[in-house]
Structure 1
Amino acid sequence: MKKLILSGILAVAGLTTTMNAQIQEGNWMVGSSLVSSNFGLNTGGGYSIALQPKGAYFIKDNVAVGGYVNLGISKVTNGSPTDFTYGVGALGRYFLSPGEKGVDNLLNHGRWFFEGNLGVGGRSVEGGNSTTGLDFGVGPGYSYFITPNIGLEGLVKYQGQSGFGSEGLNSNITFNVGFSIYLPTSKGKQIINDAK
């Protein structure tokens, strides 16, 4: 019985150490958010879907910087104009450490984070308003690690575009669900070498 309890304690300690290891300096994060999606089930119903692939490098523990691409398309109803959104730019992410200023993990295998992005993008509505210029966003999120290197993520983000066109500013709040893969630099080099 003592061996079983000791094994359980060591396994939990090992998983906690591994969870902290993936967000350390020198590691990579690659993933994507499914920004929003809905599909009308009624006759003439519309749809909305957007993808945001992203990649980042941990410049120090808990701090990652990188880039993103945002592509989305939607229709409110079958006969409505098509709305196309796009963006490309830089992103930053800061993970909160357990116990930092009273922050506790919701679950033992996850981390809270803040994400911000800044780039160039816009929105174009078929035969209607358009904006092209600054693409920006900020919001809190949570990453639950389903394995030591794969995180299932939720993110609530204020997203906007400001610039030129018939609409000077448009913005909304997005509810993002996605995943990220956290790789040590050595694993990334191995994957690249295996692909060659």
Structure 2
Amino acid sequence: MKKLILGGILAVAGLATTMNAQIQKGNWMVGSSLATSNFGLNTGGGYQIGIQPKGAYFIKDNIAVGGYVNLGISKSAKTSPTRFDYGVGALGRYYVSPGEKGVDNLLKHGRWFLEGNLGVGGYSISDGGNSTTGLDFGVGPGYSYFITPNIGLEGLVKYAGVTGFGNQGLTSNITFNLGFTIYLPTSKGQQIIKDVK
């Protein structure tokens, strides 16, 4: 019984140590957020799908910078016009350390983070609807729960906006994103690239 308890304590300590190692300087993160998905069940019902692939490099412990791409399509009803959303730009994340003042590390197998993005994006609506292209920006808090030492399930609440040229000057909304991220030490990333070649 003592060996079982000791083994459990060592496994939890090992997971916490490995989890911290994933967000250290020199590591990579790649993943995607499913921004929204909505499918109408009635006859002629609409749909809404959005995805945001992203990748970043940890320039410092707990700080990652990289890029993102936004892709989305929606239609409110069978006869309504189709809306296409797009964007590309820079992304930054700051992971909150569990020892920081006032921080409660939920379930002790994840990390809170703050994400911000800035780039070029917009939307266009078919059949002569409104459109805009310009500055694509967003900011919000999120949480990554590590289901393994290298894979995190993420939730992110984000204020997102586009301001620029077109029929509308500024559009903004609050999104709730769910997704996953893979955290790779630099050595594993280099090995994957060699294997692909």
TM-score (norm 1): 0.98
Shift of 1:77: 1.2
Task: Give 3-state SS (helix, strand or coil) of 1:101's partner.
Answer: coil
| Residue 112 of structure 1, CA deviation | 0.5
In structure 1, runs of 5+ residues without a counterpart are none
Task: Report the more deviating stretch, 4-13 or 111-120.
Answer: 4-13
In structure 1, give the amino acid aligned to 2:178. Answer: V
- Give the letter for the 1:160 counterpart: G
Which residue pairs with 1:168 in the alignment? 169
Shift of 1:12: 1.1
The amino acid of 1:112's aligned partner reads W
Q: Over residues 120-146 of structure 1, what are the superposed CA-to-partner deviations in whole Å (9 max), with x where a residue is unaligned?
A: 011111121111010000000000011
Q: CA-to-partner distance for each residue in 1:54-102, whole Å, 9 max, x for gaps?
A: 0000001100000000010001111111111100000000000113121
1:61 aligns with 2:42: no
1:17-36 equivalence runs, <5 A: 17-36=17-36
Q: Structure 1 segments of 4 or more deviating over 6 A?
A: none
Is 1:186 equivalent to 2:187 in the alignment? yes
Identity of aligned residues (%): 83
Partner of 1:9: 9
Match of 2:74 in 1: 74
| Deviations 1:10-51, CA, capped at 9 Å, x for gaps | 111111101101000000000000100000000110000011
2:146 corresponds to:
145
Once residues 45 and 116 of structure 1 are traced to their aligned partners in structure 2, the CA distance between those partners, rounded to angstroms, is 33
Stretch of structure 1 that moved more, 37-46 or 4-13: 4-13
- TM-superposed CA distance for 1:104, in Å, is 1.0
The answer for the alignment partner of 1:158 in structure 2 is 159
SS at match of 1:100: coil
Which amino acid in the other structure matches residue 153 of structure 2?
A: L
CA distance in 2, matches of 1:156, 1:68: 16
Structure 2 spans left out of the alignment, 5+ residues? none
Looking at structure 2, the residues matched to 143 and 188 of structure 1 have their Cα atoms a distance apart, in angstroms, of 20
Instruction: Give the superposition deviation at 1:168.
Output: 0.6
Distance 2:115 2:151 in 1: 18
- Number of aligned pairs? 196
Q: Any idea what the Cα deviations from partners look like across 1:113-168, whole Å, max 9, x if unmatched?
A: 00000000111111211110100000000000111000000001011100000101
Moved more, 86-95 or 103-112: 103-112
Separation in structure 2 between the aligned mates of residue 191 and residue 38 of structure 1, nearest angstrom: 35
Question: What's the secondary structure of 1:102's corresponding residue?
Answer: coil
SS in 2 for 1:186: helix
Distance 2:90 2:111 in 1: 22
